[in-house]
Amino acid sequence: MFNSSLPELDQSHYYGKAKRDFYVESLEGPIPSKARSSAYELQNACPLKSKKDDYSEHYLFPNIKHKVSSEPMTTIKSNEELLVEDGNNDSLYPDGGLRAYSVVLGSFLCCFTLFGLMNSIGAIESYVVSNQLKNVSVSTVSWIFSLYMFVSLFLGLFVGPLYDSFGSMWLLLIGSIFVFVGLITCGISTTFRNLHWYGNWLDDVFGCIHNFKLVQQKKRSFAIGAAQSGGSVGGVVFPIMLRYLYQKYGFNWAMRIMAFFNLGVDILGAVLARDRLKEIREKTGEIDKRTVPQKLMDSVDLNAFKEKKFTALSCALFMNEFSLLIVLTYISSYAMVHGISQAESFNMLTILNAAGILGKFIPSYFADKYGTFNLMILMSSLLTFSLFVVWYPFGKYRAGIYVFICLFGFGCASVYTLTGATVSTITKKTKDFGKRYGAAYAFISFGNLISLPISGAFIKKQDATDYDKMVLFAAATCCSATVLFIIARYTVVGRCMKVFI
């Protein structure tokens, strides 16, 4: 009855929620009614154009292999029995236990310092613009922070090959030392040139290598989410610390204390986040004979830009981070221009990052049900709404700006968290994900390089009118990102609205 009423499905294609409900190799045998009805609904709603449609199983679920079973489907107890992660083995990747969770904690601590500092750059920007560099234009000062973000992301491309060759311990320790030196020298800098060179460049050269390396497990999504939340927690803690340290000790000692604090946390994180490369290689017998330069060359897949869907998604992510960095950097200065004290403006950064903690988990949960592209479009629309409808008209009021930072903090953390998932969605093979993700972020990093100087050019007199122009510019770029996300989705599934991708 089922086979006669349902149009024939190609074995390499599954649809939206039907695919999530039950994974099948064929349509033979009794199948749960939930999967049957969902597959029938989505097959009729979005018929395949050909066997080469872009929304094949490899794009929708690149990490999944299907077990072939001759038994009726009713004998299989759960979907988990049908799924096997590529290359995963319980003997190699422990699912839980002290060792696995210590890696999660260590990764959390590394994210706490690195991304927490990135999420708090507004607290540093607003201070130096009002003090050391008050006679320098905002657009010029912004190069310090734009280069900080650019180098941190761009050099992240080289972390993977270095990690494969040397492991995480030495990379994290060396990176911690460079961040320490960068913050110390930043504290003694009083001119634009010194702040730009000593306080920024040294901080970046190896600061990027704090990328956490998780033990791969069946609970990978939870582990990654928990580790990444360290960035939001750091964004809550650091503005509070800086507010207190600025008032009691001044900028110089504030940077020094931050340097020693970060060094201690980073060393602890490096010790806890131990990799298992040597142990895994001994068990599997796999030896990578490539040199480090060869690994670096293989770490980025520039051919991915030949695909329309990848190019469209990369452009969307480019404009998305372009706009987000503007807000994160200038929100404190904006608040101070509108009569809010420096201390309260730092509290706003804390609230913004606190809202981001929820933004890392809630949308990710619904993305598993309704699709990463759909949730990304929804969150990008929320950000556009918060900029155009809340911040621009009501930002001059204290209540208005607090509403804005709550909405923006939630949406901002959401899109950052969903970025990797969207790239994974259009990646055929799991082994290619790192290369494609690296290529996307190499492109995105150039947006971080130019976003602050361009937006800073609107803030010439540093008055409320100039900052309103900056807000409109950020809103326009965020709106363009939303449009590009919609276009990227269209390149994958066309006009079909019922596919949960």
Q: What is the pLDDT of residues 331-370, one digit of tens each?
A: 999 999 999 998 899 899 999 989 988 888 888 788 878 8
* pLDDT mean over 297-311: 83
**Cα–Cα distance between 115 and 351 in angstroms, integer?**
16
Q: Could you give the 3-state DSSP secondary structure of residue 65?
A: strand
Is the predicted pLDDT of residue 27 greater than 50, yes or no? no
pLDDT band at 209 (very low <50, low <70, confident <90, very high): very low
Burial class (CB in 10 A: 0-12, 13-18, 19+), 344: middle
Query: If we measure between CA atoms, which residue out of 379, 383, 391 comes closest to residue 408?
Result: 383
Strand pairing class (83-85; 64-66) = antiparallel
* pLDDT, greater one: 64 or 454: 454
Q: What is the pLDDT of residues 95-115, one digit of tens each?
A: 556 777 788 888 888 888 888
Query: If we measure between CA atoms, which residue out of 195, 111, 181, 113 comes closest to residue 148?
Result: 195
**C-alpha dihedral (467, 471, 473, 474), degrees to nearest 10:** 130
**Lowest mean per-residue pLDDT among 145-159, 224-238, 432-446:** 145-159
pLDDT band at 1 (very low <50, low <70, confident <90, very high): very low
pTM of the model: 0.72
Burial class (CB in 10 A: 0-12, 13-18, 19+), 134: exposed
Average pLDDT, the chain: 74
**Lowest mean per-residue pLDDT among 7-21, 159-173, 456-470:** 7-21
Model pLDDT, residue 53: 44
For the chain, percent of residues with pLDDT exceeding 90: 27
Residue ranges of domains in the chain, CATH in brackets = 2-85 (no CATH), 91-299 (1.20.1250.20), 300-501 (1.20.1250.20)
Q: What are phi and psi of 396, to 5 degrees?
A: -75, -10
**Cα–Cα distance between 401 and 347 in angstroms, integer?**
12
User: Is the backbone of residue 61 left (phi > 0), alpha (psi -120 to 50) or beta?
Assistant: beta
**Cα–Cα distance between 334 and 466 in angstroms, integer?**
10
Is the predicted pLDDT of residue 203 greater than 80, yes or no? no
* pLDDT, greater one: 129 or 38: 129
Alpha helices in 25-167 (DSSP H): 33-45, 57-60, 97-118, 121-130, 138-154, 159-166
Alpha helices in 273-371 (DSSP H): 277-284, 292-297, 308-337, 342-370
